[in-house]
Amino acid sequence: MSRTFYITTPIYYVNDVPHIGHAYTTLAADVLARYRRLMGDKVFFLTGTDEHGQKVEKAANSAGETPLELADRVMKRFDSLWAKLGIEYSDFIRTTQERHKAGVSHIFSQLMNKGDIYLGEYEDWYCTPCETFWTETQLIDGKCPDCNRPVEKLKEESYFFRMSAYQEQLLAHIEANPDFIQPKSKRNEILAFVKEGLRDLSVSRTTFNWGIPVPGNDRHVIYVWFDALSNYITALGYPDQSGNFKDFWPVDVHLIGKDILRFHAVYWPTFLMAAGLPLPKKVFAHGWWTVEGQKMSKSLQNVVEPNMLIDKYGVDAVRYFLLREVPFGLDGDFSHAALVNRINSDLANDLGNLLNRTTAMINKYFAGVMPPCGELDDTDSAYRAKSVAMLEGVAGQMGELAFSKALQCIWEVISAGNKYIDETAPWTLAKDPGKRERLATVMYCLAESQRLVYSLLAPFMPATSAKGLDYLGVTSAPDQATLAWGGLAAGTNITKAEALFPRIEERSE
Ligand code: MSP
């Protein structure tokens, strides 16, 4: 029986257009989803859009459209970017969909009925852009501690979620499950936050209308984070607990950026506890991208537009760069120079070159037909061992969501391949008819090692992987069974490869 694997991205606000920050979370989720599929899991990969709330209402007002018109328009921009980026999601949820609204109303009523949501009055400092209330002591220099913008004092009747009642249970859960919140530094931050004490949480608003009405009191709309977080189960059909919900909940990984960790590692688990549902297995917070050393912002006009990058450099180069350049979990800096450098050195020089050399030699020495492999000498065995170890190495790193290290494992074998050619000097062997079998063995090892390399590249660079495998005469998509040494059959036709990644000579502006 195959394992199931459920992975989610945050649902994106529709008051902003997609940039590389959004593309990054979704791309990482896609790579992990594809890797788990490659390993034989039944995968459910969820993404979507967060369409309610005051920010969306305001953005729609200033654009002269209804919130739903705005959501329809912006949602399409996200979806078309995902298509262009090669994202293969299983489902795209919009919080304005009936299935979602019905699910949220159900959870809210359920919590009201058991007394975990009650009506009270609220007075505190409110940050409109972050849609978050802060206490006096949480403010930094009188401003929002998250975005540093001014806050205003708001008093309103509000429904509250009895979050304080779940403090001990949450603390015990975090302590008993060291992998629940990752990376570790973030886990420590959350532990410290929970230990400070959890207050009851305001979960309704009366100051605007664009949201899901509180059941039985439509003067209130449900707080946007209560609404948004619930997407992870409403998309599985909740409150119906059969079907996808039964197969996929609890989620294996919620992938998010570090800015929204508290919502996922504190609020969401306590909502789930109150609803009597199992908690996520893992919440992983990745770092933030700056651009050429600066924070990305509309006012600085330095927002990196992924469509433009893909048009200029190709989708696989962008996918590779984003996951290779920065260890997942840390902050990183985007620059065109760094991207061009990765393309030229890792993709053109190392990866592409090795395939060109190999396929050219098999064509020159064996008329493009894979010869049978003879006995391996020490050099061949060492190269084979390295190639086989890569399978385990990548599995280990992917288990840790260490995408960059997984790619490093693959690149070690690519470098070993280029070195292996220099050591075995096939052009010398080719001059000696007595060394024909030896030459065949070297060609076999080179092609077979690269069959494994291109198979493992499938989650990261799907089109490149397919092209590479095609040159090596592999016609079916890689799977768990083909991820073993010796799969390439003698007699396979090997095509001389074109440059997969031509070098980029001009410096980018
Ligand atoms: N709607 C909420 C999430 C609700 S999930 C139940 C939201 N949306 S968002 O569109 O503002 O952000 C979505 C994701 O984009 C977050 O994970 C955030 O970390 C990520 N990024 C936004 N800017 C980013 C960078 N500059 N760098 C990396 N990721 C960033 O929050």
Q: What is the DSSP string of 233-299?
A: HHTTTTT--SHHHHHHPSPSEEEEEGGGHHIIIIIHHHHHHHHT-PPPS-EEEE--EEETTEE--TT
- Total structural domains within the chain: 1
As a whole number, mean pLDDT of residues 290-318 equals 89
Q: Tell me the per-residue pLDDT of 398-449, one tens digit each, with 9 for 90 and over.
A: 999 999 999 999 999 999 999 999 999 999 999 999 999 999 999 999 999 9
Mean pLDDT computed over 188-214: 95
Q: Which amino acid is at 344?
A: N
**CB–CB of 391/456 below 8 Å?**
yes
Q: Is 304 in the pocket of ligand 1 (CB under 6 A)?
A: no
Mean per-residue pLDDT for 189-197?
96
Q: Are 133 and 126 in contact (CB under 8 A)?
A: yes
The yes-or-no verdict on residue 508 having pLDDT over 50 is: no
Does 302 score more than 90 pLDDT? no
Average pLDDT value for residue range 483-494? 97
In percent, the amount of the chain with pLDDT more than 70 equals 99
- Please give the residue that has the higher pLDDT: either 55 or 10: 10
The mean per-residue pLDDT over the stretch 311-318 comes to 97
> Does a structural domain hold residue 282?
no
What's the burial of 434, exposed, middle or buried (CB within 10 Å: 0-12/13-18/19+)? Answer: exposed
Give the residue, out of 7, 22, 291, 328, with the most ligand 1 atoms within 8 A of its beta carbon, to mutate for a pocket test.
Answer: 22
In a domain, 369, yes or no: yes
Cα(355) to ligand 1 centroid in Å equals 38
Evaluate whether residue 352 is within a structural domain.
yes
**Which residue is listed with tokens 């459910």?**
44
> Is 379 contained in some domain?
yes
Confidence at residue 90, expressed as pLDDT on a 0 to 100 scale: 98
CATH of the domain at 429: 1.10.730.10
pLDDT confidence of residue 356:
97
Q: What are the pLDDT digits (tens) for 444-488?
A: 999 999 999 999 999 999 999 999 999 999 999 999 999 999 999
Q: Is 24 in the pocket of ligand 1 (CB under 6 A)?
A: yes
In a domain, 436, yes or no: yes
385 inside domain: yes
Q: Note whether residue 214 is domain-resident.
A: no
Percentage of the chain beyond pLDDT 90 is 90
Cα 257 to middle of ligand 1, angstroms: 6
Would the pTM count as exceeding 0.75?
yes
33 lines ligand 1 (CB under 6 A): no
Residue 104 Cβ contacting ligand 1 at under 6 Å: no
* Contact between 226 and 271 (Cβ < 8 Å): yes
Task: Dump the DSSP string for 61-117.
Answer: HHHTS-HHHHHHHHHHHHHHHHHHTT---SEEEETTSHHHHHHHHHHHHHHHHTTSE
Q: Which of 27, 11, 21, 8 lies closest to 315 in space, CA to CA?
A: 27
The confidence score (pLDDT) of residue 1 equals 61
Report the mean per-residue pLDDT for the chain.
Answer: 95
Length of the chain measured in residues:
509
pLDDT category, 509, cuts 50, 70, 90? very low
Asked whether 256 lines ligand 1 (CB < 6 A), one says yes
Q: Which residues contact 207 (CB under 8 A, 6 or more apart)?
A: 54, 154, 156
320 lines ligand 1 (CB under 6 A): no
The answer to the question of residue 440 being in a domain is yes
The parent domain of residue 415 ranges over: 337-482
Structure tokens at 224: 């946007």
Residue 415, token pair as written in the block: 């470098």
Distance (Å, whole) CA 425 – CA 451: 21
Confidence of residue 507 (pLDDT cuts 50, 70, 90): low
> Is pLDDT of 233 > 70?
yes
Q: What is the pLDDT of residue 456?
A: 98
Atom in ligand 1 nearest the alpha carbon of residue 255 = 17
Closest ligand 1 atom, CA of 50? Answer: 1
Residue 258 CA: which ligand 1 atom is closest? 19
